[in-house]
Amino acid sequence: MASTHPEPVEKKRVTGKSGTEPPIGLIDLLLTETSVTEDQIERASRIAERMRKPVSVCEVLVQLGQLTRTEQEQLLRLHRSRMDVAQILHEDGHLDRGDLDTLRRQMRAEGTEDPRGLLVEGGLVSEEKYLRALCAKHDIPYLEPETALVEEETLTRVSFPYLLRHYVLPFRMVGETLTVILRNPLDSERIGELERIFETKIRPCGATGDSIEKALKRIRNRIQGGASVEEEVSSVNYREIREITD
């Protein structure tokens, strides 16, 4: 006798060529956090496949008017907050599957949850790529130090040897908050110390140790009679700086 129970319906799996298929976690977020439907995701994926240049499914949905730009940005921040740094590097194409699996085994063998040493010192990715992924996970700005926009008066309360030793660059005050660029923007102990020194709230940003060191030395030379602010200002990306410091 034939069963009267309906067959379970298998959830659709959106497919696409490499570089266009969104991670399954992001698909779930599209379905749970927005009004986008599975059919719309499938259609966007098919469109992304036919694009000459790689385009994300989320971007196609935005162009189709089925996802707002604000929703896309919020969704990506939420998605990346749920990933670890290695997963973000893999998703961005900086770490292949083999290296990712090897990294996981090494982390388990060493009993560590911090992949920085294995990734950067191990030569798998540059410090900049690691820090950009770290900042993306924690929704912290990554900011290339632009010495022409550093407010030099913020440097009067701490010595250059201290800043160079700890790779810290006080950037500028916005209201009652001081933006500070750090090699480790998650260093709560250092941030707490800076809050005590400057007696104000600190907003951390990330940058490589090398870029911070070079910026500090340029500022020190300028103060001692080197290059002027006007000579440095031509390379400033005002739009990026304004977005971060406003």
For residue 104, give the nearest of 167, 49, 95, 140 by alpha carbon: 95
For residue 141, give the nearest of 39, 7, 222, 240 by alpha carbon: 240
Q: How far apart are alpha carbons 186 and 182 in whole angstroms?
A: 9
- Residue 26 binned pLDDT confidence (cut-offs 50, 70, 90): confident
Residues pairing with 182 in the sheet: 168, 206
pTM of the predicted model as reported, rounded to 2 decimal places? 0.74
- Report how far apart, in Å, the C-alpha atoms of 52 and of each of 17, 19, 45, 47, 55 are: 12, 12, 14, 10, 9
- Residue 36 binned pLDDT confidence (cut-offs 50, 70, 90): very high
- Residue 189 binned pLDDT confidence (cut-offs 50, 70, 90): very high
Give the relative orientation of helices 69-81 and 24-33 as an angle to the nearest 10 degrees: 130
Lowest mean pLDDT among 16-25, 123-132, 160-169, 229-238: 229-238
Specify whether the CB–CB gap between 67 and 36 falls below 8 A: yes
What is residue 9's predicted lDDT score, i.e. its pLDDT?
Answer: 36
What is residue 232's predicted lDDT score, i.e. its pLDDT?
Answer: 44
For residue 14, give the nearest of 67, 66, 56 by alpha carbon: 56
For 56-85, b/e burial (b = at least 16 CB within 10 A) is bbbbbbbeeebbeeebbeebeeebbeebbb
**Residue 172: its H or E element:** strand 168-174
Q: Average pLDDT of 50-63?
A: 90
User: How many other C-beta atoms lie within 10 A of the C-beta of residue 88?
Assistant: 21
**Residue 201: its H or E element:** strand 201-206
Q: Average pLDDT of 236-242?
A: 48
- Report how far apart, in Å, the C-alpha atoms of 160 and of each of 69, 86, 138, 198, 214 are: 42, 34, 28, 15, 12
For residue 78, give the nearest of 139, 7, 145 by alpha carbon: 139
- Report how far apart, in Å, the C-alpha atoms of 243 and of each of 153, 175, 206, 239 are: 22, 15, 15, 6
Instruction: Tell me the pLDDT tens digit for each residue of 142-157.
Output: 999 988 888 888 888 8
